[in-house]
Amino acid sequence: MLIKNMKLRNIRSYVQEDIAFPLGTILLSGDIGSGKSTVLYAIDFALFGVTKDLSGGSLLRHGAQEGSVELQFDIDGKDVIIQRRLKRGDSVTQSYGSLVMDGVKRELTATELKQKILELLQYP
């Protein structure tokens, strides 16, 4: 799997950011609080959704009503884009998820999206 690009909107310290990942090894460096961990949490959220270890409330920017992560990557020659959105109500929940593979977009539930990603990654 080669991560190409990630778009963040209202995720922790990022209001709106488009991050391009160059080919090769990547080193995330910066001062404390600069957003290094947020990049990793956003990748985790895009791939696996909200979990007991990664809550929507810990991801959604303080005061924001909605947020999203879009992750574009290549796996086995297939171009894949995952988008997940968070929405604040009584609690912060995942409100939307989609998978675009080879130009075909499918809207999926959080569970369906996680299962499809695990299949793509050939995770046991």
Largest pairwise CA distance in the chain: 42
Q: What is the pLDDT of residue 100?
A: 96
Q: What is the pLDDT of residue 53?
A: 87
Q: What is the pLDDT of residue 27?
A: 87
Global confidence as pTM? 0.91
| Cα(79)–Cα(72) distance, integer angstroms | 7
Q: By the 8 A CB rule, do 86 and 94 touch?
A: yes
Question: Tens digit of pLDDT per residue, the chain (124 long)?
Answer: 999 999 999 999 999 999 999 998 888 888 888 889 999 999 999 999 998 888 999 999 999 999 999 999 999 899 999 999 999 999 999 988 999 998 999 999 999 999 999 999 998 7
| Cα(54)–Cα(8) distance, integer angstroms | 16
Per-residue 3-state assignment (H helix, E strand, C coil) for 88-101: ECCCEEEEEEEEEE
Q: By the 8 A CB rule, do 71 and 40 touch?
A: no
CA 64 from chain centre, in angstroms, equals 17
